[in-house]
């Protein structure tokens, strides 16, 4: 319908009624599943060799639904056979057999169970993705009580129309179109400076702009600190893991907890256009025993071995200490690539530092350095 208004301006309103086509489809691609601890849901290791990074041989069951009814289409599909803790490049496609009954796309539901060959449960994923985008990528993190969380990365694609009766309301003056207003999704916080809640505590950030990770945020009058690594007295989180596991986050964020943000997250965070300073606090219990600051902190890409870049506030000590080389400028290594006892994962240049190394307990809470 058109109306003639004063000044020769035409208002054109286009109404499009949506309907399901026999060729309608909705599909989900399972891209990656990560079980960094290699344990079952109750924390039991899948293998007696979990201490060297051998995890679970995983089977997947369940399905996806774009409508209200979910029909399982996968039944104990084998995902790996060599105990990998991170199962990448799966490229397993799941479809909704009733997708041609859906006329409007408002999101979808996922229900998947991970088990071992004998049926022991590794994890259960039940979540919904609310979206009208015809394609995208989503990462879901499942926090398991008493053991490390697992994550699943998926992608989806559909040609089902989004839930809207109108596609647009263009305004024409003569023959020159004037676009109407557009909306932009809010930017996800990449660090603790960008989170809305400005109180210290655990917050969710998105270092790469897409994938969530929980970190401890320390909000001060001098600015916001994003805690990328911490050590505590807990023994249920080990830093004695394979090199590849250091790429992703593990542990539990919080004061006095064992936590590692992940090298890939550190790379995304430190190369997002902002300039970051790294502060290392050395504590004994609640006592601060030392502090070191490094400016221009950056972690390189995986292809460049996550090389560390920074400038020391006080030269010649800490990460800037040099025996033959310095930790600054060194690639990230583990005991497998840097043969020293109890080395764990670190930027080994000077051999004089390792905040992920063996944790020696204090003697009767005595914080005196002897």
What integer pLDDT is reported at residue 38 of this predicted model?
92
Q: Write down the residue that tokens 């050590």 correspond to.
A: 231
Q: Which domain holds residue 172?
A: 2-17+164-178
CATH assignment at residue 242: 3.90.215.10
CATH assignment at residue 98: 2.60.40.3510
47 and 112, same domain (yes or no): yes
267 and 169, same domain (yes or no): no
What integer pLDDT is reported at residue 268 of this predicted model?
95
| 214: three-class secondary structure by DSSP | strand
Residues 6+ apart with CB under 8 A from 246: 260, 262, 263, 332, 334, 345
Task: With respect to residue 183, please indicate whether it lies within any of the assigned structural domains.
Answer: no
Asked if residue 46 lies in contact with residue 128, where contact means CB atoms within 8 angstroms, the answer is no
138 and 124, same domain (yes or no): yes
Choose the weakest-confidence range: 170-174, 226-230, 307-311.
170-174
234 and 136, same domain (yes or no): no
| Domains in the chain, number | 3
Could you tell me how far CA 140 lies from the centroid of its own chain? 8
pTM exceeds 0.75 for this model: no
pLDDT band at 370 (very low <50, low <70, confident <90, very high): very low
Q: What is the pLDDT of residues 225-266, one digit of tens each?
A: 999 999 887 667 888 888 889 999 999 998 888 899 999 999
Q: What is the pLDDT of residues 70-115, one digit of tens each?
A: 889 999 999 999 999 999 889 999 999 988 888 899 999 999 999 9
Task: With respect to residue 151, please indicate whether it lies within any of the assigned structural domains.
Answer: yes
Sheet holding 250-251, edge to edge: 229-230, 259-260, 250-251
310 and 290, same domain (yes or no): yes
10 and 70, same domain (yes or no): no
Phi–psi pair at 52, nearest 5 degrees: -110, 15
Query: In whole angstroms, how far apart are CA 264 and each of 31, 202, 298, 357?
Result: 17, 20, 11, 20
| CA 328, 333, 339, 340 torsion-angle sign | positive
Total Cβ atoms within 10 A of residue 353: 20
- Residue 312 tokens read as 């020391």
- Residue 176 tokens read as 């020159």
Task: With respect to residue 172, please indicate whether it lies within any of the assigned structural domains.
Answer: yes
341 and 209, same domain (yes or no): yes
Q: Which of 127, 158, 189 is the last residue of a domain?
A: 158
Q: What is the mean pLDDT of the chain?
A: 82
Choose the weakest-confidence range: 7-16, 50-59, 163-172, 321-330.
7-16
Q: What is the pLDDT of residues 52-71, one digit of tens each?
A: 889 999 999 999 999 888 88
What integer pLDDT is reported at residue 182 of this predicted model?
52
What integer pLDDT is reported at residue 71 of this predicted model?
87
What integer pLDDT is reported at residue 181 of this predicted model?
55
170 and 100, same domain (yes or no): no
- The Cα–Cα gap between 103 and 41 comes to 38
pLDDT band at 348 (very low <50, low <70, confident <90, very high): confident
Task: With respect to residue 66, please indicate whether it lies within any of the assigned structural domains.
Answer: yes
221 and 272, same domain (yes or no): yes
Task: With respect to residue 192, please indicate whether it lies within any of the assigned structural domains.
Answer: no
Phi–psi pair at 247, nearest 5 degrees: -65, -35
Query: In whole angstroms, how far apart are CA 98 and each of 22, 74, 81, 139?
Result: 11, 15, 32, 24
Q: What is the pLDDT of residues 15-44, one digit of tens each?
A: 333 333 457 889 999 999 999 889 999 999
For residue 227, give the nearest of 265, 192, 185, 277 by alpha carbon. 192
Residues 6+ apart with CB under 8 A from 328: 294, 308, 309, 310, 311, 312, 319, 320, 347, 349
> Over pLDDT 90: what percentage of the chain?
44
124 and 247, same domain (yes or no): no
- Residue 155 tokens read as 């992608």
96 and 215, same domain (yes or no): no
What integer pLDDT is reported at residue 342 of this predicted model?
53
Mean pLDDT computed over 141-152:
85
Phi–psi pair at 265, nearest 5 degrees: -65, -40
Task: With respect to residue 78, please indicate whether it lies within any of the assigned structural domains.
Answer: yes
Q: Which residues in 328-340 are b (16+ Cβ under 10 Å) and which e? A: bebebbbeeebee
Q: Where are the alpha helices (DSSP H) in the chain?
A: 263-270
Q: Which of 158, 188, 210 is the last residue of a domain?
A: 158
Task: With respect to residue 184, please indicate whether it lies within any of the assigned structural domains.
Answer: no
What integer pLDDT is reported at residue 349 of this predicted model?
80
57 and 140, same domain (yes or no): yes
Task: With respect to residue 113, please indicate whether it lies within any of the assigned structural domains.
Answer: yes
């Amino acid at each position: 319908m058109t109306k003639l208004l004063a000044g020769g301006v035409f208002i054109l309103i286009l109404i499009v009624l949506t309907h399901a086509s026999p060729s309608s489809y909705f599909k989900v691609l399972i891209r990656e599943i990560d079980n960094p601890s290699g344990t079952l849901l109750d924390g039991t290791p899948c293998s007696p060799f979990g201490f060297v990074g051998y995890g679970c041989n995983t089977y997947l069951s369940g399905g996806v639904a774009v409508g209200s009814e979910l029909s399982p289409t996968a039944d104990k599909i084998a995902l790996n056979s060599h105990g990998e803790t991170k199962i990448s490049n799966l490229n397993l496609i799941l479809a909704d057999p009733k997708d041609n009954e859906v006329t409007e796309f408002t999101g979808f539901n996922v229900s998947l169970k991970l088990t071992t060959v004998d049926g022991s449960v590794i994890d259960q994923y039940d979540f919904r993705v609310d979206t009208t985008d015809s394609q995208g990528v989503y990462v879901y993190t499942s926090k398991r009580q008493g053991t490390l969380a697992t994550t699943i990365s998926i992608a989806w694609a559909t040609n089902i129309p989004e839930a809207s009766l109108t596609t647009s309301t263009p305004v024409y003056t003569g023959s020159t179109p004037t676009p109407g207003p557009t909306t932009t999704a809010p930017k996800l916080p990449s660090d603790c400076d960008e989170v809305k809640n400005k109180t210290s505590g655990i917050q969710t950030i998105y270092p790469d702009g897409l994938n969530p990770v929980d970190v401890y945020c320390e909000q001060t009058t001098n600015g916001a600190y994003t805690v990328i690594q911490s050590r505590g007295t807990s023994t249920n989180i080990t830093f004695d893991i394979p090199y590849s596991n250091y790429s992703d986050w593990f542990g539990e964020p919080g004061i006095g907890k064992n936590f590692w943000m992940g090298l890939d997250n550190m790379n995304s965070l430190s190369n997002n256009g902002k300039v970051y300073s790294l502060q290392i606090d050395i504590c004994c219990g609640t006592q601060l025993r030392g502090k070191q600051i490094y400016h221009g902190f950056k972690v390189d890409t995986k292809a460049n071995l996550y090389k560390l870049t920074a400038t020391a506030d006080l030269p010649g000590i800490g990460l800037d200490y040099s025996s033959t080389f310095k930790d600054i400028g060194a690639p990230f290594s583990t005991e497998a690539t840097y043969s020293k006892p109890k080395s764990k994962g670190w930027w080994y240049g000077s051999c004089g530092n390792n905040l992920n190394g063996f944790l020696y307990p204090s003697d009767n809470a005595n914080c005196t350095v002897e």
